[in-house]
Structure 1
C-alpha cells in the first residue's frame, strides 16, 4: 500500500491566520488523503532577521485593520466562534510553543494547539503567562505544571531553537506555512488547498 503524502503545517500561536489554518487543516487534509505533520515554531526570530520588531500587521496599520476584518469574515465562514481579539497582539507565545514542541510526538499536541488558538482568538484570553498554558494543559487532562516545567528545560529549549533554524533553512518566513514532501512551500491560510493539491501530485500545467 502506497504511503500517504505528508504536508508539514508550520504554525505560530501568535498568528491569526495560523489560527484559521489550525481549525481546518485536519478535515481538509483527510479529504485529500494527506497526512498532516504539525510543526509549532516561533516566527519572531524570522521577523527580526528581516528587520521587523513586531508583526507586519502592526507595522502597517491599514494592512492590520484589513487583516482583522478578513479573519473575522473567515472565522464566520468556517463556522468558528466569533473572533475576539486578544488585548495584546501579537501575544508572547513562548511558553505555549515550548509546551507544543515538548509534545511534538504526543497525541495531545493537536488538541492542545487548537485549545491555545481558541483561547487567544475565540476567547480573547492571554496565552503569554505560563499559568495560562498550565490551565489549558490541565483542561485536557494533563499535568500542566509538570509539562510546562519540563518544556522550560534546556533540552526542549534547544529543540525549539533547532526548529526555528530549520524553518529558516527551508525558506520559511512567516506563518502559517505548508511544506510538501518535495519541499515546495506554500505560505498563508489561503494556500492550504493548493498545498494539498501539490502534495497529491495535482500540479498546475507547466509547473513541475
Structure 2
C-alpha cells in the first residue's frame, strides 16, 4: 500500500485543518498515513525566529486568521478560537501523542486540536490532557507518566530532528516514501496523488 507521513505541530493552525481531513482523504486514495508529531519551535529557532511568523509579520497573521475562519466555515467546522497565548505550548500534547500507540495517535491528536482551536482549552494543562485521554478510554495517569519518560522525550526530539533533516520548515507537512515534501494543508491532495505514483511529468 502507498504510504504518506503526516508531520504536525499542535500549535499549528493549519495542522488542525489537515488533521480533520487526512484520514478520510487517505482512505479514499488507498494510502496509509503515519502521524508524526514534532516541534516547530526548535526549527523556527534555527531559522532565526523567536515566535511564529504569523506573530512576527502582522499582515500575514491577520490574513491567516481570516483564511482559517473562511476555510472552517466552508468545511462546516465550528468557529475557530484563537489560543491565548498564540502559539500555544504544544510540548505536553506532543509528548502524550508520542507516548500513544500509532493506532491511538490520530484520534487523540484530533481531540487535542479540537479542544484547542474550537474549545479554547489550554493544551499545556495536564488536566486537559487527562480529560481528553479519559474521554478516549485511556488510562490517563499511565499515559501521562509514560509521556514524561526519558524514552518519549528522546523520541520526540528525534522526530523533530528527522523533520528538520527532511527539509521540513513548517506544519503541516507531508512526506512521501521517497522523501518528496509537501507543505500546507492545501497540498494534501497532491501529496496523496504523489504517494499513489502520480508525477505529472515531473523530472526525477
Q: TM-score, normalised by structure 2?
A: 0.97
CA distance in 1 between counterparts of 2:124 and 2:177 reads 33
Q: How many residues align?
A: 204
Superposed CA RMSD: 1.1
1:113-134 Cα deviation digits (max 9, x unpaired): 0000000111111111222111
1:189 aligns with 2:185: yes
1:27 aligns with 2:29: no
CA distance in 1 between counterparts of 2:181 and 2:28 reads 20
Match 1:77 to one of 74, 77, 80:
74
* Helix, strand or coil at the partner of 2:76: coil
1:115 aligns with 2:111: yes
Equivalence for 1:148: 144
Equivalence for 1:15: 12
CA distance in 2 between counterparts of 1:205 and 1:166 reads 29
Where in structure 1 are there 5+ consecutive unaligned residues?
none
Alignment of 1:1-208 (within 5 A): 4-103=1-100, 105-208=101-204
Q: 1:106 deviation in Å?
A: 4.0
Q: Residues 77 and 153 from structure 1, CA distance in 2 versus in 1: closer, same or farther, beyond 3 angstroms?
A: same
CA distance in 2 between counterparts of 1:106 and 1:204 reads 32
